[in-house]
């Protein structure tokens, strides 16, 4: 392993968007520093934090010359912060890492070697779930990857859309791909900044609509911290995701306007189905939130008035049942 000095031409730029991440960013940065592949630069974009994030990162920069701090002028959310990191990236590849997540030690080496060998434009992997409060890990949670053969498989736009619906358990949109920088630039690809929920799915859909060659590793090399811990049943204090299924539905309209002319009819239908399901899921969430005031009869009446939302009841029941199981048994029961 080479010494931690700044590489003249880094093979990969790791971009970490950071907002009030002083309490967790050390873990994320260390997971990059501990990579078996050491030819990297680490660009941390501070999104106008109000805590000690800047001071913490400045100390990291002082110690490790491969780390650079970029300060956003205004708080724009994770998409704007990532895009700013993209503009400062010098690597041939760009890897996204959220401030409360981590890489496993061989992630960059394994995935980039595969991408180079297969001449890919992007590559992603399964994810482990890390419950911050329980300090517990659930391995390889995107169980839909089992539907594909081999250790790696080529991902199409149609397959991505089919497996990224809200009721499909842990979704493909949770994956954090590694992108070839030149492909992003050539196709003017970036995270959409108009919404802060579903931005990942939009970019990955756009990437595939632009005919990117992308593979998925069925093994998990990324450790993801969800908003809600599946073991502790507590909210992570570091997660900034705010669900908004109305805007997520709008992202489908935006995607079709931008890329509808270049995708297949099958893909277009899947995007339209996704939009409809986002709106139906939003109605389902409204019913859940109002059920105590509505009572059983009122809740049933509201469900009957929005029949498309009933499709989400089975997955809710399954999740409730899974939450009653011991931690070890939860990993074997996934929707």
Q: Residues 266-288: pLDDT tens digits?
A: 999 999 999 998 898 888 888 88
Q: What is the pTM of this model?
A: 0.87
pLDDT higher than 70, residue 324: no
Instruction: Dump strand ranges (E) for the chain.
Output: 12-18, 40-46, 67-71, 93-96, 102-103, 122-131, 136-138, 152-154, 178-180, 214-224
**SS3 of the chain: helix, strand, coil, percent, to 5:** 45, 15, 35
Containing 79, the helix (H) or strand (E) segment is helix 77-88
* Residue-level pLDDT at 152: 98
Mean pLDDT taken over the chain: 89
Q: What CA–CA distance (Å, rounded) separates 27 from 19?
A: 15
pLDDT higher than 70, residue 6: no
* Residue-level pLDDT at 317: 57
Q: Which residues contact 186 (CB under 8 A, 6 or more apart)?
A: none
């Amino acid at each position: 392993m080479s010494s931690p000095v700044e590489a003249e031409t880094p093979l990969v730029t790791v971009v970490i968007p950071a907002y009030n991440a002083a309490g967790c960013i050390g873990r994320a940065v260390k997971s990059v520093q501990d990579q078996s592949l050491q030819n990297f630069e680490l660009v941390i974009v501070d999104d106008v934090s109000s805590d000690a994030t800047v001071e913490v990162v400045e100390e990291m920069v002082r110690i490790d010359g491969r780390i650079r701090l970029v300060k956003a002028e205004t708080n724009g959310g994770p998409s704007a912060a990532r895009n700013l990191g993209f503009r400062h990236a010098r690597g041939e590849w760009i890897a996204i890492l959220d401030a409360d997540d981590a890489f496993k030690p061989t992630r960059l080496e394994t995935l980039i070697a595969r991408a180079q060998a297969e001449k890919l434009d992007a590559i992603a992997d399964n994810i482990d779930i890390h419950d911050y409060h329980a300090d517990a890990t659930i391995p390889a949670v995107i169980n839909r990857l089992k539907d594909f053969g081999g250790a790696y498989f080529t991902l199409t736009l149609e397959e991505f859309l089919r497996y990224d619906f809200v009721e499909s358990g842990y979704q493909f949109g949770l994956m954090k791909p590694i992108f070839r920088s030149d492909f992003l630039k050539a196709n003017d690809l970036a995270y959409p900044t108009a919404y802060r929920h579903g931005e990942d799915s939009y970019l990955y859909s756009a990437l595939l609509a632009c005919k990117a060659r992308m593979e998925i590793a069925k093994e998990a090399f990324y450790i993801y911290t969800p908003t809600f811990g599946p073991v502790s049943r507590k909210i992570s204090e570091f997660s900034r995701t705010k669900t908004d299924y109305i805007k997520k539905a709008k992202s489908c309209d935006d995607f079709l306007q931008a890329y509808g002319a270049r995708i297949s009819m099958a893909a277009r239908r899947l995007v339209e189905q996704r939009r409809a399901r986002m709106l139906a899921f939003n109605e389902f969430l409204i019913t859940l939130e109002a059920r105590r005031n509505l009572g059983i009869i009122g809740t049933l009446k509201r469900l009957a008035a929005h029949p498309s939302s009933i499709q989400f009841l089975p997955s809710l029941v399954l999740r409730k049942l899974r939450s009653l199981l011991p931690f070890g048994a939860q990993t074997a029961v996934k929707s």
